[in-house]
Structure 1
Amino acid sequence: MVDQLRPNPAYIEAVLADAALSPYRTWMGLGITELECDRALVVLDIEDHHLQLRGTVAGGVMASLIDTATFWSAFVRAPADAGVANVDLRVNYLEAVPKGARRLIAEGRCLRPGRRLSYAEAYVRDERGHVVAHGMSSVLTLAGKGLAIDLPKYLEENE
């Protein structure tokens, strides 16, 4: 079984490989660069389609970063055959991302992991390290809705 506090690196690798297949994450350019128990780091290299008419990053982009970072920060504690879903999202826009910014980084932390419902938060920082948005989410564990990894094979090879 996967250790809940220190997940097997092979399991994390399999999760990230499966998650990389998400059409939305691919289109948005959201990359999960770190994933561990209760923590996820998500990066976004800013492109033209992330900008509003006036050249600033759209609020929906910030919300997507927070949604993704909170989701993945809670995911690792879920049972191996389960999935999770954000059931609410609260976003505070703290500062406009300056024109010419190239990257945003969201760090998600699961504040209270639960068997059925977890609570997570995320901070979005620009490349200068300034916090530009903060958000929180409730994350629901969904039995039988795990990722499309070959779990029996994974468990056999990594026990």
Structure 2
Amino acid sequence: MQKLNPEHVKYAIDFANQVSCMELLSIRLTDITVGGCQVEMGVEQKHLNPYNLVYGGVYSAMVDFTTYWAVYGEMPETAGYTTLDLHVDDLASTGLGGMIYAEGRSIKIGRSVCLAECFIRDEGGKLLVHGTSKLMVTPTIPPNDEMVAGWGFKQPPPKFLEA
């Protein structure tokens, strides 16, 4: 049985947190496990709509990012994949200040389609958003290991260790 290489996880988190859009939104990946991930964001003025609440689009970006990384720990090292669809239910909102936390979980890892979900909560644990995403596994999208060179990163350590 394979298990995630902690050095690869550290590398992937560092890489993910340097993706331009996530830097712009200050969304940060904090952990990757087999079957899930953890993401966080400090709510700033740039995230707010005219009503001083977090834009739905910010939540959508967070769900998209979180569901992508939620399946990562179970995907083969050579797999490339992308968002096929995204469903976001805004259940409550929050305003300026404080942190919001996203928990991503893989539901189904298939040969061609994966399904993941995301729960976004405020600091008090109140559920703000529930989202799901289908991700298409495709050979036309390079796996992260091939993509990193274009971003100026060294090649990552192996993704899995033999247990």
TM-score range (shorter-chain normalised) is 0.7 to 0.9
Provide the rounded CA distance (Å) in 2 between the counterparts of 1:74 and 1:33: 15
| Alpha-carbon contact 1:78-1:84 (below 8 Å) kept | no
Residue 108 of structure 1 and its aligned partner are, at CA, apart by: 0.7
Provide the rounded CA distance (Å) in 2 between the counterparts of 1:82 and 1:100: 38
Unaligned runs of 5+ in 2: 149-153
Q: Determine the structure 1 residue equivalent to 2:46.
A: 49
Unaligned runs of 5+ in 1: none
Provide the rounded CA distance (Å) in 2 between the counterparts of 1:12 and 1:96: 31
Equivalent residue in structure 1 for 2:118, among 115, 122, 130: 122
How many residue pairs match? The answer is 151
RMSD of the alignment, in Å? 1.8
Provide the rounded CA distance (Å) in 1 between the counterparts of 2:93 and 2:47: 13
Aligned ranges 1:144-159 → 2 under 5 Å = 145-147=142-144, 148=148, 150=155, 154-155=157-158
Amino acid at match of 1:57: V
Note the alpha carbon deviations across 1:105-135, whole angstroms, 9 max, x for none: 1101001111221100111101110001101
Provide the rounded CA distance (Å) in 2 between the counterparts of 1:87 and 1:100: 31
Provide the rounded CA distance (Å) in 2 between the counterparts of 1:121 and 1:115: 18
Aligned ranges 1:95-106 → 2 under 5 Å = 95-97=92-94, 99-106=95-102
Partner SS state of residue 14, structure 1: helix
TM-score normalised to structure 2 length = 0.85
Partner SS state of residue 105, structure 2: strand
Q: Determine the structure 2 residue equivalent to 1:132.
A: 128
| Alpha-carbon contact 2:44-2:97 (below 8 Å) kept | no
Provide the rounded CA distance (Å) in 2 between the counterparts of 1:118 and 1:52: 32
